[in-house]
Amino acid sequence: MSSATAPVGIFDSGVGGLTVLQALRHRLPRERFIYLGDTARLPYGTKSAESVVRYSTQAASFLVGCGIKYLVVACNTASSVALKDLRERFEPLPVVGVIEPGAQAACESSRSGHIAVIATEGTIRGGAYQNAIAAKLPNAVLATRACSLFVALAEEGWTEGEIVEGTARRYLSDPITEDPQIDTLLLGCTHFPVLRATLHRVVGERVPIVDSAHTTAAVLAADLTARELHASPTQSGSVRFLATDSGERFARVGSLFLGERVAAEEVELVDL
């Protein structure tokens, strides 16, 4: 039986999921989190669904071995192809992904039902956002676009400037100009929130930008309470960082995504 004092496990293909961790910590400051970034195998977004399911299962197994009470799949690509497998394999461990919460955020934001979704190649190809949005808003009209280069730019720390803006215009101009009714841009990838300021300039203030982080935190908070698994008001929150490759790079790039400094010494190297 899971105990309320056990940690919440969260994994991503790399450091991008730290944008989700940031929202979780903000919402649930008393929880203990274990964050695993599978940096040795990043990116997941260009890999086959079979590989992503295998990697995700290994990452989840490792966290389950750490005694977690809840699993958060922060990676959109992993959530889109591996969530069902993970739920079945690790039952009764509760597992939440970021697709449903992201779709919910987009549907709540859009008045016209015309939504642009940007994500990795794997996430767009798998159709998980398309299905999740259609289930909530059957008349939704979607423009989807795989924006693989954004992952590399964000990893490089290039979040502003002419190269990023030019890349964003190239990816986004067509969908946005072809459908002037688009009134929401959903960031369906962990790496994209750090590009938000640039994306705002490209799509214009008329189009709000939403992502999964805050809705995922809200879903987790509600479910922890429903299952009586939430941390007690006296528990101190903490984070343990695990990575499958270079702690130094995790700390350097991860600090940008988390919005606060991560020291290389805090990152434990693990083998899945």
> 107 an active-site residue?
no
Task: Give me 62's structure tokens.
Answer: 């490792």
DSSP secondary structure of 139-175: T-EEEEEE-HHHHHHHHTT--SSHHHHHHHHHHHHHH
Task: Give me 189's structure tokens.
Answer: 């990838």
User: By Cβ distance, which residue is nearest to ligand DGL?
Assistant: 45
**Angstrom distance (rounded) from CA 48 to CA 71:** 23
Scan residues 63-102 and list those touching ligand DGL (CB under 6 A). 75-77
Please name the residues in contact with 82: beta carbons below 8 A apart, sequence gap of 6 or more: 52, 53, 56, 57, 73
Looking at residue 265, the DSSP 8-state letter turns out to be: G
Q: Which position among 83, 151, 168, 210 is part of the footprint of ligand DGL (CB under 6 A)?
A: 151
Residue 14 or 175 having the CB closest to ligand DGL: 14
Per-residue x/- track, 13-42, ligand DGL (CB under 6 A):
xx-x-------------------------x
Per CB under 6 A, does 123 bind ligand DGL? yes
For the bound state, the minimum distance from the C-beta of residue 61 to ligand DGL, rounded and expressed in Å, comes to 19
Q: Which position among 19, 104, 120, 144 is part of the footprint of ligand DGL (CB under 6 A)?
A: 120
**Angstrom distance (rounded) from CA 256 to CA 269:** 20
Scan residues 37-66 and list those touching ligand DGL (CB under 6 A). 42-45
Residue 6 or 159 having the CB closest to ligand DGL: 159
Burial class (CB in 10 A: 0-12, 13-18, 19+), 88: exposed
> 189 an active-site residue?
yes
For the bound state, the minimum distance from the C-beta of residue 89 to ligand DGL, rounded and expressed in Å, comes to 20
For the bound state, the minimum distance from the C-beta of residue 155 to ligand DGL, rounded and expressed in Å, comes to 8
CA distances, 222 to each of 43, 62, 136, 137, 247 (Å): 31, 25, 20, 23, 33
* Residue from 66, 107, 147, 189 carrying the catalytic annotation: 189
**Angstrom distance (rounded) from CA 15 to CA 240:** 13
Residue numbers at the binding site for ligand DGL (CB under 6 A): 12-14, 16, 42-45, 75-77, 120, 123, 151, 189-191
Provide the annotated active-site residues: 75, 189
